[in-house]
Copies of this chain bind each other. A is one copy, B any other.
Amino acid sequence: MSRKQISEYIFNRIKEAGVDCTFGIPGDFVLPLYAAQSKSGLRTVVMTHEPSVGFAADAYARLKGLGVALVTYGAGGLNMVNATGLAYAEESPLLVISGGPENKHRSQRALLHHCVKTFDTQNNVYGEVTAANFIITDVHSAKTKIDEVFETVQTASRPGYLELPRDLMASEIEMNGAMEKTNRTTLVLPSKVDEKVLQSICQRIRNAKQPVIMAGVQISRFNLLGSVRDISEVLNIPVVSSIQGKTAFPESHPNFIGIYFGQFGDEAVREFFESCDCIIAIGVVLNEMETGGFSAKLPSENLILINNEEIRLGEEKIEYKETAISATEQFKAFLSALKANITDKAKGGLSKKFALPVLASKSERKYQPKDNLSVSYIISAINKIVDNNTVIVCDVGDCLYAGLSIKTDCFIAPGYYSSMGFGVPAGIGVQVADRNKRPIVLVGDGGFQMTGTEISTAVKEGLSPIIIVFNNASYAMLKFIDVESERSYYKLPTWDYVGFAEALGAEGHRAKICGEFDLALQKALKTNRPVLIDAIIASDDISPTLKRLTELVGKKMRSTVVS
């Protein structure tokens, strides 16, 4: 029976998952792990601050199926709880590995630096924001625990946490032959109930006048695009995405018609969507953001919902049975069976062909180069340069709502959890995951001020994100949902963003008018350095989506703000 050091085993598992790079910041409690990582042939992209480590690793995870953060104890680990919470909420397979104080000290009081209350503090905290969390305190159970955390992260697509005491990293553990791999490629329908449900769903689709597929983020998290595309193509069903599900179904596909974001979203899409008599929502969790603040019209008589928690069919809710097969696997199996039923003629596949709608195309406003720069011009200019290698990465705020209007096949944003500061580090994670991609990062000035220093990480790593700062010198979204917009705490400090980018080794351009913005974009496309564009927009210039949102949500907010 062969033996491996714990650290070696961990890095082997990371490599087997196709991960070629971790994200982190070194610190004394994690140094032996960093040294072991170098030996394993992996490396860490060192960021400037731990919140960014979490965001970058999360973005990498969304593209590669696993992202790893390698941080020190306390000052490191406790500094990315928010980023891990985001990954949990948005089902991103982020694995946090933290060094820890020596195991041999565990019997004593925690009087070491980076310790808070007890040796369990950090693990307890991570228990609240991960799907699996362990401190390795015992060599004999180490392998099982490590395997369990990896398995959970990779199959449930949720974050996990592993803490390794500094004195156990080089301890050897026994390998049981080859690395265990769970073979779950043969998907079977778990029960007869599902067969009945399956037939009811087919029946509903068959009887529908106009069905529509609502594509959710779980389609990309669990690699289900094949099935969804087949269903859509065979029956010629139009597809909308939810906000989190943007690009889970490729926007270049002829059946894709837009994003449905309840009463906040595009009006033509909304009108069509709400006229459909059969909504097949796949991989969507009906949370606040996916439903446009619960404004989405999803009448239960028209709704078929299939996700990794349940199947809903009209008023009927079918929960997955607790078996050895996880809910996610049952969801995947069910979708696979549904696809087969619909597409396989031998199985009596549906032969109907529905019609795709022709949505009224919006008359685009014509801009002159001297016109003041606006959110809508930024979007139309970016739409002209998006290609197959572009990844649109959005932070939170109006840049996200504006970004929804960019037609792309790869879009990354914290659309549900909505943590500011995600954009710039996520752009790094995206490009580290695939060097052929070029991220265009849309970020508000508030979000940029949180983590914009990561531009220097991009410079150091030879990356080339194009970062567009929506500069309106305020927390614009808050301002718009409040009764009073001129409160001092909505004003942001003034930064010279161009000077900032240059100080960090990147290129910077300022754009106040449309012509300047075009020129800046052209320059950005000609260089392979990171580029920041300071896009100066009027303080009252917001996207149509945010306008609708603040009109509707603002009312609710106003009623609770003590003014």
Choice from B167, B502, B504, B562 contacting A32 with Cβ under 8 Å: B562
CB distance from A59 to the nearest CB of B (A): 16
Closest residue on chain B to residue A76 by CB atoms: B82
Q: Output the residue of A46, A88, A124, A459 with the most chain B CB within 10 A.
A: A46
B28-A481 in contact (CB<8A): yes
Q: Which of A135-176 contact B (CB under 8 A)?
A: 166-167, 169-170
In this assembly, does A451 line the interface, its C-beta being within 8 Å of a C-beta of chain B?
A: yes
In this assembly, does A398 line the interface, its C-beta being within 8 Å of a C-beta of chain B?
A: no
Contacts of A286 in B (CB 8 A): 111
In this assembly, does A419 line the interface, its C-beta being within 8 Å of a C-beta of chain B?
A: yes
In this assembly, does A330 line the interface, its C-beta being within 8 Å of a C-beta of chain B?
A: no
Of the candidate stretches A115-123, A225-233, A340-348, the one touching chain B is A115-123
Contacts of A117 in B (CB 8 A): 88, 128-129
Of the candidate stretches A196-204, A355-363, A493-501, the one touching chain B is A493-501
Contacts of A190 in B (CB 8 A): none
A487-B129 in contact (CB<8A): no
A560-B288 in contact (CB<8A): no
Choice from B419, B500, B561 contacting A504 with Cβ under 8 Å: B500
Known contacts A117-B129, A128-B117, A460-B493; A449 and B48 CB within 8 A of each other: yes
A386 to B500 Cα, complex, angstroms:
31
A562-B113 in contact (CB<8A): no
Known contacts A121-B129, A456-B493; A169 and B34 CB within 8 A of each other: no
B75-A89 in contact (CB<8A): no
A562-B503 in contact (CB<8A): no
In this assembly, does A327 line the interface, its C-beta being within 8 Å of a C-beta of chain B?
A: no
Closest residue on chain B to residue A418 by CB atoms: B113
B111-A419 in contact (CB<8A): no
Contacts of A27 in B (CB 8 A): 478
Known contacts A35-B563, A49-B449, A78-B81; A475 and B26 CB within 8 A of each other: yes
B78-A74 in contact (CB<8A): no
A125-B81 in contact (CB<8A): yes
Query: How many residues from A make CB contacts under 8 Å with B?
Result: 94
CB distance from A52 to the nearest CB of B (A): 9
Closest residue on chain B to residue A159 by CB atoms: B116
Q: Which of A8-39 contact B (CB under 8 A)?
A: 26-28, 31-36, 38-39
B560-A170 in contact (CB<8A): yes
In this assembly, does A223 line the interface, its C-beta being within 8 Å of a C-beta of chain B?
A: no
Choice from B38, B478, B497 contacting A26 with Cβ under 8 Å: B478
B489-A495 in contact (CB<8A): no
Closest residue on chain B to residue A48 by CB atoms: B449
Known contacts A38-B487, A451-B49, A500-B504; A114 and B563 CB within 8 A of each other: no
CB distance from A218 to the nearest CB of B (A): 15
A114 to B418 Cα, complex, angstroms:
6
In this assembly, does A302 line the interface, its C-beta being within 8 Å of a C-beta of chain B?
A: no
Known contacts A48-B493, A452-B453, A562-B5; A125 and B129 CB within 8 A of each other: yes
Contacts of A166 in B (CB 8 A): 560
B170-A495 in contact (CB<8A): no
In this assembly, does A285 line the interface, its C-beta being within 8 Å of a C-beta of chain B?
A: yes
A113-B81 in contact (CB<8A): no
Per-position 1/0 for A210-241, Cβ under 8 A of B: 00000000000000000000000000000000
In this assembly, does A376 line the interface, its C-beta being within 8 Å of a C-beta of chain B?
A: no
A495 to B562 Cα, complex, angstroms:
44
B560-A490 in contact (CB<8A): no
Q: Which of A473-492 contact B (CB under 8 A)?
A: 475, 477-478, 481-482, 484, 487-490
Contacts of A115 in B (CB 8 A): 89, 417
A287 to B416 Cα, complex, angstroms:
42
A511 to B308 Cα, complex, angstroms:
59
A536 to B512 Cα, complex, angstroms:
37
In this assembly, does A56 line the interface, its C-beta being within 8 Å of a C-beta of chain B?
A: no
A241 to B75 Cα, complex, angstroms:
25
Contacts of A74 in B (CB 8 A): 82, 85, 417, 419
A416-B113 in contact (CB<8A): yes
Closest residue on chain B to residue A460 by CB atoms: B493
CB distance from A22 to the nearest CB of B (A): 10
In this assembly, does A65 line the interface, its C-beta being within 8 Å of a C-beta of chain B?
A: no
Known contacts A26-B489, A75-B419, A449-B453; A49 and B48 CB within 8 A of each other: no
Choice from B28, B113, B419, B484 contacting A478 with Cβ under 8 Å: B28
A482-B31 in contact (CB<8A): yes
Per-position 1/0 for A487-527, Cβ under 8 A of B: 11110011111111011110000000000000000000000
Query: Can you spell out 8 A-B residue pairs with CB atoms less than 8 angstroms apart?
Result: A32-B562, A48-B450, A49-B51, A74-B419, A75-B417, A88-B117, A113-B416, A117-B129
15 more contacts with CB within 8 A, not counting A26-B489, A116-B417, A456-B493, are A26-B490, A27-B478, A31-B478, A32-B561, A32-B562, A75-B396, A75-B417, A113-B289, A113-B417, A114-B419, A449-B453, A453-B453, A456-B494, A495-B503, A496-B505
